Each structure stands twice: as structure tokens, then as C-alpha cells.
A and B are shown apart, each in its own frame.
Chain A
Amino acid sequence: MAKDELMNYEKALEMFEVVIGLEVHVELNTKTKMFCGCRNEFGDEPNTNVCPICIALPGALPAVNRTAVESSISIGLALGCEIAPNGRFARKNYFYPDLAKNFQTSQYDEPIAFEGELTVELPSGSVHTVQIERAHMEEDAGKLTHIGGSTGRIQGAEYSLVDYNRAGVPLVEIVTKPVYGAGAEAPELAAAYVRSIREIVKGLGVSDAKMERGNVRCDANVSLRPHGQEKLGTRTETKNVNSLRSIERAVRYEIQRQAALLAKGTAIIQETRHWHEDKGATSAGRPKSDADDYRYFPEPDLVPVQPSKELIESLRAKLPEKPADRRKRVQAEWGFADLEFRDVVNADLLDQIEETVRAGAKPQAARKWWTGELARIANSQDKDVTELEISGAYVAELAQLVDAGKLNDRLAREVLTYVLNGEGSPTKIVAARGLEVVSDDGALIAAIDAALAKQPDVLDAIREGRMQAAGAVIGAVMQAMKGSADAGRVRELLIEKANAQ
């Protein structure tokens, strides 16, 4: 892959205005596929969730999944869209083995939802409203594995293997209008927009919304134009961007790459580009060509979808709180400072903290565990903190054990590693491994006396108000008890002893 020349980011923004457009595909979590009764399930044995409809055997006829239509309407409503009183499906014709039919059943001129908007807040605190052009229903394609060739990628592959389990899984594609005015924050806006879509579909319960599984996928269009020019520049569409961080990086990369070309007077080629997470770069895919003539036409095998006003209103009544409203509410409830709250949002930890607080933890304790120790552990394992195998209930239990003085911080961190190893609840682990802090005063007093025997001057020092002298004794006691003593209690006992004499 040839290395692209990149312009300094600040300079690129001085010279050009950035315009982005985002296409987000959301996989619905219905039990069955869009047009047949095969299971919609991730990770099953290849070609076991397929039938004559989704592998396109002759004579098979599709039937629309009612739940998928209702989920699509809910997504449209949550994005403030109009719902089409009459919508139909269309065939998007192309030859590629990811679908056996030689076409994808999609929507073209009559999408189910159109003209909406979504307000998103960026890490800096600035707020943008993104205009939504449309949200339409379609089906996902199968999964291709390229075999042979040196890199396992498609270039040089000898053949491909196709698994149609994913073919026909319901998708909703959400398309924005061109987004102007984000300036240097265009990459952050792209990521914040996708984060909001994820929150919405998760809140609606219509998608598992796991980006690492491809439940939410984003294609990012980027174009540049000189400041003041009205005509939009030629855009590129970067695919294969499957994490929020990648979206941000890919948009930034395209801005710098396109700026370098335009500054030299080189035209941008309208093409698909692929994002490579390992290299932190995009590479040219297929240029737009004759093959992009999809010859859409109305799907003759399916009748129109005409949602009634009653259905639309009943779905509207069930919409959950908007992400922006929810954020305001929980920030106030939890009493987090703006900066604290922003860290929580940017780490995608709202759900986790809400669950932890609901399970009885104090909000600040929940925040500290998730953005502190758990984030550190996730980072050391090169994972997202949200991927850790621990429930909010267990974090709450741990925080409560600390509050009750049964665990000190060191022991709590140790218990946490066992919880993450799948050993069960913190309470169970404390009991099974005998990790509770020693709060038996008798044992503590014996250890204090032993320490004082070696440092007899400490009690005088405490009586004279030099509290720092207590540290040495507390340290010695902690050491003698191998860290399982409640340091606060040791301190109390030591002061009591000093004052008693």
C-alpha cells in the first residue's frame, strides 16, 4: 500500500471547509430474518440458518417480518422522521456472491422514514444538529471469506467461501444530509453521531448495537471545498469503520489526505476507500464505475407497507427518553461535575453506571470503579471497558463491601480480578478466599502492641499531636496482617491507646 501524503490537520482546516455525510447500518435483533423465518443469530455454524428464500432457490417467495417493520418505524420516530404512509421495497441489482439472489431487497424511492434530525453533543461540549435524509429497510448480505493469496485479503485470493447465515438479516440504513460547520471537530462529530444512533437503537431495544459484531456499521463520506465555495467537493466513502475511535481517525485521515492532494492541484477520485485499523490509514477501493448501475425497480414479490396512524402513534407513545434528555437527567441525579460526566459519556459507561447505581452503589463510587480501576484493567488488556465481563450489580456489591469496611481498597482490587476471572460475586469470593479485612479488634490490638514494642516513642508523638508518626505503626500493622487489616480501624485503635495512657 503506497503511503499517502498528509497535510498538517490545522493547515488543512485553514485552507478547506470539511463536509461529511454518514451512512449507518443498524442490524435489528429480531428473532428471525427480514423476509423468512430463519433465525437471526450471530456466530452459528455456517449455512445452518438458511432456507430456500434466503439462498434464493427458484420459486421461493419472501414475506416481510412485522416486528422488523415496527422496529424500523420506531427508529424513524426516534430520529424525528416522518413515517411514509405508503412505502415499498425495491430490488437493488448487482452481481456479487454475498447475496444469492443477484439483488438486495432494499427501499429506494419510498423509504419508510425521512426528514429527521439528531442533536449530538461533542466531547468539547459544543452541540450540533445533524439532518437525517432518510432511514430505510433492507437486508444484510452473507459473509465472504477469501482463501489463498499471501495476505488472506481479497487481492490475490484464489477463491471465496460464502456463509449465508447473515443474508436476509434485517437492516435499517440511516443516511444523513451533508453535514456542514463542524470544522476541526468533524471527526468527533462523526463519532458522536454514531454513538447517539447506538444509544437510540439500544434504548429502543431494537438492536444489540455491538459495533465489534457489526450490529452498527458506519460508512463515512468526506469531501473538502475551499472556504466560500458553494459547490461541494468530490467525496470519498470510507467503509469498514467499525469502532467509534476508527470513525474519528478515518475522517481525520481523509481530511488530511484530500487536503494534500487538492493543494497540489490533484483531483479527488470519487471512490470507496477501506479503513485499516492496524495502519491507521485508508486505501483506495473500487472507483465508481458502470457497475454502480443498480437498476432499482419496485419489488414485485412484496406488497407495499402502509403503516396506519394508530400503529405509528402507538409506537411513538412507547419511545424511550431521548439520549440528550437522559444525559441531562442522570447527570443531575448523580451529581457529577461536567468533566466527570463527559469522561463517563466518552467511555460509553452510562448504562454500566446506571446499572451499578440501581444495584445500590453511590454514584461517585460507581463512577470511580468504572472510569478508574476497571478502565485501567480493560486498557491493560487492550479492550474496551464495556467489554469486561462484570455486571453493574457486582461492582455495586464491591463498592458496598468497601463502604461497610469489610474490604479495603487493596483487597477490593484483588477481589475485582477474581470477579473478572468468573469466580462469582464479590461476597462469594471474599468468603471463599477469606479476603475480608481483619476488623477483629483483638487481633489488631495484638499487632499494634507488637509494632509499638519496636517503636515506643510513637504514642508520645501522637499525644503531642504529631499524627504523621502514627503512619509507621499503621504500616507495620498492615504488613504484619499481610494487607488485610482495616487501616482506618488500626488508626482509631492507636489513637484510643495513646489517649488512654
Chain B
Amino acid sequence: MSEITPDLVRHLAGLSRILVTDEEVERFTEQLSLIVDSVAKVNEALAGIDVPSTSHPIPMANVFREDIVEPSLTQEQALSGAPDSGEGRFRVAAILDEE
């Protein structure tokens, strides 16, 4: 059984800045539990086999870019998709947090 609880769902929703109703909390708790349990089956299948954990499906490393300047966007292009802007910058709601 998974460790997904309604409180955990509310916590995750808060971190993700998503407003959830009680009904949704119930539904997501069930759905997320199902997902976590399903993924846990992979662990069961691997029980007793020594497989190092990996973050990548392809065994590849050291893909680098040389330190060479490439063209950037213009300020107009950069701001063209912004909901709001001013003084050449993205304008966002003031958020009470650390500077």
C-alpha cells in the first residue's frame, strides 16, 4: 500500500500552487496511490538483482557544449510572450519571500 495520504496531496498541491477541492484531494489521493503502487512493482521485479539506480535510459555521459557565445533573443523577442512587462523586464506580482 502506498504512503500517499490526503494531507500529502494538499501539501504537494500547495508546493505546486494548485488550488484543490476536497473532492479532488480524495480523487488524487486514489490516483497517485495507484501510480506509486504500479511503479513499486518494478522494484518487486528487481528484488534480489543488483541493478544500480540510474536517471537515464541510455548509458551516455559527458555531453558538453563548448564555451562559445551564440546569438541571444532581442529584448523585444524575449518579452513578446510575457503577460506583462515594463522597463525591459518581465513584470510579475510581488511575492512575499526572500530577496
Contacts and interface: CB of A to CB of B under 8 A. Distances in A.
B88 A47 contact: yes
Contacts of A272: 98
Contacts of B78: 47-48, 50, 55, 164
Contacts of A95: 15-17
A439 interface: no
A37 B74 CA distance: 14
Q: Which of A86, A303, A307 has the most CB of B within 10 A?
A: A303
A46 B87 contact: yes
Contacts of A240: 99
Interface in A156-183: 157-164
A108 to B, nearest CB: 11
A303 B62 contact: yes
A240 B63 CA distance: 35
Interface string B60-82: 11111111111111110011010
A30 B91 CA distance: 29
A38 interface: yes
Interface string A51-83: 110010100000111111100000000000000
B92 to A, nearest CB: 4
Contacts, number: 149
Interface residues of B, number: 41
Given A66-B67, A160-B91, A293-B15, A286 B98 contact: yes
A131 interface: no
Contact of B88 (A36, A45, A299): A45
Contacts of A293: 11, 15
A38 B69 CA distance: 6
A49 B98 contact: no
A11 interface: no
B72 A38 contact: yes
A306 B14 contact: no
Contacts of A68: 67
A225 interface: no
Given A47-B75, A65-B65, A32 B94 contact: no
Interface string A6-49: 00000000000000000000000011100011110000011111
B65 A66 contact: yes
A260 B99 CA distance: 27
A286 B97 contact: yes
B41 interface: no
B17 to A, nearest CB: 6
A337 interface: no
B72 A97 contact: no
A262 interface: no
A469 interface: no
A45 B75 contact: yes
Contact of B89 (A153, A154, A163): A163
Contacts of A295: 15
Interface size on A, as a range, is 35 or more
Contact of B94 (A37, A148, A302): A148
Given A146-B94, A303-B61, A51 B72 contact: yes
Interface in B5-39: 11, 14-17
A47 B14 CA distance: 30
Interface in A261-276: 272, 274
A149 B99 CA distance: 15
B52 to A, nearest CB: 10
A355 B74 CA distance: 40
Given A46-B88, A47-B75, A154-B94, A69 B64 contact: yes
A52 B73 contact: yes
Given A48-B75, A64-B63, A36 B91 contact: no
A52 B87 CA distance: 20
B75 to A, nearest CB: 5
Interface string A88-115: 1000010111000000000000000000
A154 B91 CA distance: 14
Given A303-B61, A304-B61, 4 more contacts: A158-B94, A164-B78, A239-B98, A290-B15
12 contacts: A47-B78, A48-B78, A49-B72, A57-B81, A66-B64, A66-B66, A95-B16, A154-B96, A160-B91, A160-B95, A290-B15, A303-B58
7 nearest A-B residue pairs (beta carbon): A37-B70, A298-B55, A66-B64, A67-B67, A161-B89, A63-B65, A157-B94
Interface of A: 30-32, 36-39, 45-52, 55, 57, 63-69, 86, 88, 93, 95-97, 144-146, 148-149, 153-155, 157-164, 239-240, 272, 274, 285-286, 290-291, 293, 295, 298-300, 302-307
